[in-house]
């Protein structure tokens, strides 16, 4: 028994150590975020709502069917609803009805609502795609920021080590009287500055790791770490193109512009729906109804003894005899409705103008982002090369013997 317990305990310890030593790759981070990020889940729910709205639009083409029923008791001197005779008795009355109606013509509003719902489904899918792209980009940036902060910590610690070696060497030269003590103070200030940079780099690493953990919706912040993999940076053929060429290609594929165009089409469809309110509407209707009444009529035998109650009119006979049908068509012509339709049309026109401006703004934002990203990449590459060159010079200077 003890052996089995020890075996299970060792397995649990192995699982725990494996969970704590797991290092996430960038592919794992992106895949996990796409499944668990809250913003993506909300976008999925928005897409589901758009599908429900389409079902509602389809339902407007179907006829409406409603049934109703009622039952009442009349006690005392009351008029029999079926016979019309005043009787002092307890009468029960039942009524049943069935109503149906269908839109024959409604200013093409139902058709336009269906087309609008299709556009809303498309727009919601674009929004979901954009959210996935944004989350993937955020995760990738956060992942690369952690890598950068890790390397920055190494660089700052190496720079601190170089400064400390210079401090020791300078201290020996000062003691030997080869250089003035002021040089030692300068190196000491440099060492203190490098220590502060190390602390700042470590704090930046903690913040960047926290940002990635929150994007992934993880709880275990302390044991989270990423895989230290060498990611080769290859020359991108996109950088060989000019920013204007990149912008023209981005206009064809970027989701932001597709969303803006879809919103503009939805606003145009809203205008057609609003204008349909000016047109007359024609509806067809049908109603079936029937009623049954029955009283508690006392029944006596041949000796005059009360034996119970009976209903002189059978239930189903009355159901068939009292049934009725009502059907026809109803035409509604809007004449004056407090400017509600007119104001709805005007609001739709304003919405179209706003969405046109939003589309233009999306194009301007995309152009600015393309140019900014292009210049940022070129500047980052130049900065990385410059930092590598400076670090190499510092290393060479630290190993070169100083002249007395």
pLDDT in tens, 88-107: 767 778 899 999 999 999 88
Please give the pLDDT value at position 12. 44
Q: Which parts of the chain register pLDDT below 70? A: 1-21, 79-83, 87, 89, 177-179, 229-242, 295-301, 304, 306-315, 376-404
C-alpha pair distances (Å), 290 with each of 91, 296, 315? 17, 21, 11
Please give the pLDDT value at position 5. 45
Residues 220 and 196: beta-carbon distance below 8 Å: no
Name the nearest CA neighbour of 394 among 190, 202, 189, 149.
Answer: 190
Please give the pLDDT value at position 284. 94
Residues 132 and 40: beta-carbon distance below 8 Å: yes
Other beta carbons within 10 angstroms of residue 106's beta carbon come to 19
Token pair recorded at residue 33: 């975020």
- Residue found under tokens 């690493």: 205
């Amino acid at each position: 028994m003890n052996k089995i317990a020890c075996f299970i305990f060792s397995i649990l310890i192995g699982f725990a150590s494996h969970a704590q030593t797991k290092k996430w790759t960038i592919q794992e981070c992106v895949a996990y975020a796409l499944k668990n990020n809250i913003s993506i889940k909300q976008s999925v729910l928005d897409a589901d709502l758009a599908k429900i709205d389409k079902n509602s639009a389809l339902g407007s083409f179907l006829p409406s069917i409603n049934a109703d029923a009622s039952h009442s008791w009349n006690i005392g001197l009351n008029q029999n609803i079926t016979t019309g005779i005043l009787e002092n008795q307890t009468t029960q009355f039942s009524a049943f009805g069935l109503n149906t109606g269908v839109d024959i013509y409604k200013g093409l509003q139902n058709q336009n609502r269906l087309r609008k719902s299709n556009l809303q489904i498309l727009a919601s899918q674009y929004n979901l795609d954009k959210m996935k792209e944004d989350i993937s980009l955020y995760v990738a940036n956060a992942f690369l920021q952690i890598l950068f902060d890790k390397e920055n910590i190494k660089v700052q610690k190496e720079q601190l080590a170089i400064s400390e070696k210079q401090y020791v060497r300078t201290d020996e030269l000062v003691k030997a009287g080869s250089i003035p003590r002021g040089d030692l103070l300068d190196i000491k200030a440099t060492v203190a500055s490098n220590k502060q940079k190390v602390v700042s780099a470590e704090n930046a690493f903690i913040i960047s790791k926290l940002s990635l953990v929150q994007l992934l919706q993880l709880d275990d912040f302390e044991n989270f770490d990423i895989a230290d993999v060498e990611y080769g940076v290859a020359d991108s053929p996109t950088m060989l193109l000019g920013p204007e060429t990149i912008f023209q290609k981005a206009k064809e594929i970027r989701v932001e512009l597709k969303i803006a165009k879809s919103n503009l089409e939805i606003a145009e469809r809203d205008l057609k729906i609003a204008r349909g309110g000016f047109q007359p509407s024609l509806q067809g209707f049908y109603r079936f109804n029937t009623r049954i009444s029955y009283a508690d009529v006392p029944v006596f035998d041949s000796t005059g003894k009360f034996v119970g109650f009976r209903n002189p009119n059978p239930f189903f006979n009355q159901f068939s005899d009292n049934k009725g049908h009502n059907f026809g068509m109803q035409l509604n012509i809007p004449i004056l409705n407090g400017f509600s339709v007119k104001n709805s049309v005007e609001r739709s026109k304003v919405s179209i103008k706003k969405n046109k401006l939003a589309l233009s703004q999306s194009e301007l934002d995309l152009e600015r982002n393309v140019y900014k990203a292009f210049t940022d990449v070129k500047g980052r590459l130049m900065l990385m090369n410059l930092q590598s060159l400076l670090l190499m010079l510092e290393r060479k200077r630290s190993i070169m013997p100083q002249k007395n």
